């Protein structure tokens, strides 16, 4: 949760990153109308992989040669791309774009819990515990009581998306353990290489030989979530980390759902239940408590 002074340029790039990732949920939903979910995810990682390796080569960044690092890339690709991308894309077939993005915002909750289990310096403090509890309540509210009373395909889809956020959390811990010292762009390219090696044969085996899409919006969706939503977004994310610190970069998580909700409503005519908005409000509050801003603001008000 390292924070630094945030410049206007950093705030602009945080907002831009939140917008890019928020719109990715719409692009995925559009692509799912014509392409099976595993093939769709394979498109996403394959094209993004090519773009990032082109960037690495143009920048002449050092490429690792040790097999242990490439094995770590393979595991990272599984945890950070294959599992979450596949679970979320499958789930998004049955739930709204905006709701998917709300559950995705819970990634930080599980990240805190996994880090507390794995790293001695990431212990669960009282503030973090309160933030996690509030955020968990938000997730439960967003799921809705009906999903707990009657388990159906929609309930399973929501759990699949949440499962994707848990995988992200384990990916973050794995990256900290195995990828320190590497240029982040190289780590991202290596990770996407590992996920491509897993997803291409999996898509062929499960979905069959892919056919060319027939709808122009499908090509636009693939181009968007592969180029902007993955390759460019990763590069922008590392810039934001360098300029603003991880604590401020986490604020991107709070910007994604509003963008996805608005685009889902405008383009797809989606309507979310009031419980989804209430759940997002609690989830956002939990994330802000984790970040420490709410406590700092309250203390500042008391001093005044």
Confidence of residue 2 (pLDDT cuts 50, 70, 90): very low
pTM: 0.89
Flag whether pLDDT at 99 surpasses 80.
yes
List the one residue out of 300, 303, 264, 228 whose CA is nearest residue 101.
264
What ranges do the domains of the chain cover? 8-121+151-272
CA dihedral 111→112→115→119, nearest 10 degrees, is 160
Flag whether pLDDT at 4 surpasses 60.
no
Instruction: Round to whole Å and give the CA distance between 304 and 301.
Output: 5
Mean pLDDT of 21-47: 95
List the one residue out of 291, 268, 232, 213 whose CA is nearest residue 101.
268
Mean pLDDT (the chain) is 87
- How many CA atoms lie less than 13 Å away from 233 in the CB half-sphere? 23
Flag whether pLDDT at 83 surpasses 90.
yes
Q: What local confidence, expressed as pLDDT, does residue 186 receive? A: 93
Our measurement of the distance from residue 180's CA atom to the centroid of its chain's CA atoms, rounded to an integer in Å, reads 21
Question: For residue range 243-255, what is the model confidence (pLDDT) as tens digits?
Answer: 767 667 777 888 8
Q: What local confidence, expressed as pLDDT, does residue 1 receive? A: 46
Question: For residue range 117-166, what is the model confidence (pLDDT) as tens digits?
Answer: 888 877 888 888 888 899 888 888 888 766 666 778 888 999 999 999 99
Mean pLDDT of 271-277: 89
- Crossing angle of helices 126-143/153-178, nearest 10°? 150
Mean pLDDT of 14-33: 94
Instruction: Round to whole Å and give the CA distance between 159 and 148.
Output: 11
């Amino acid at each position: 949760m390292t924070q630094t002074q945030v410049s206007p340029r950093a705030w602009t790039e945080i907002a831009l990153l939140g917008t890019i990732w928020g719109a990715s949920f719409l692009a995925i939903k559009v692509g799912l109308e014509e392409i099976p979910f595993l093939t769709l995810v394979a498109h996403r990682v394959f094209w993004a992989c090519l773009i990032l390796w082109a960037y690495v080569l143009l920048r002449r960044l050092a490429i690792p040669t040790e097999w242990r690092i490439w094995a770590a890339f393979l595991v990272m690709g599984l945890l950070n791309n294959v599992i979450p991308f596949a679970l979320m894309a499958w789930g998004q077939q049955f739930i709204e774009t905006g709701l998917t993005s709300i559950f995705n915002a819970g990634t930080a909750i599980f990240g805190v819990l996994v880090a507390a289990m794995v790293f001695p310096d990431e212990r669960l403090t009282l503030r973090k515990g309160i933030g996690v509890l509030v955020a968990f309540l938000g997730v439960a509210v967003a799921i809705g009581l009906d999903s707990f009373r009657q388990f159906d395909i929609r309930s399973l889809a929501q759990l699949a998306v949440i499962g994707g956020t848990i995988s992200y959390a384990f990916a973050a811990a794995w990256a900290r353990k195995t990828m320190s010292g590497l240029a982040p762009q190289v780590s991202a390219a290596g990770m996407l290489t590992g996920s491509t090696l897993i997803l291409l044969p999996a898509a062929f085996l499960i979905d069959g030989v892919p056919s060319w899409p027939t709808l122009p919006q499908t090509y636009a969706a693939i181009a968007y979530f592969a180029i902007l939503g993955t390759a460019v977004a990763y590069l922008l994310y590392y810039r934001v980390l360098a300029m603003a610190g991880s604590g401020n970069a986490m604020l991107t998580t709070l910007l994604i759902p509003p963008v996805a909700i608005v685009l889902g409503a405008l383009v797809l005519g989606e309507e979310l239940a009031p419980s989804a908005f209430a759940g997002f409000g609690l989830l956002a509050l939990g994330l802000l408590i984790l970040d420490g801003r709410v406590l700092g603001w309250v203390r500042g008000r008391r001093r005044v």
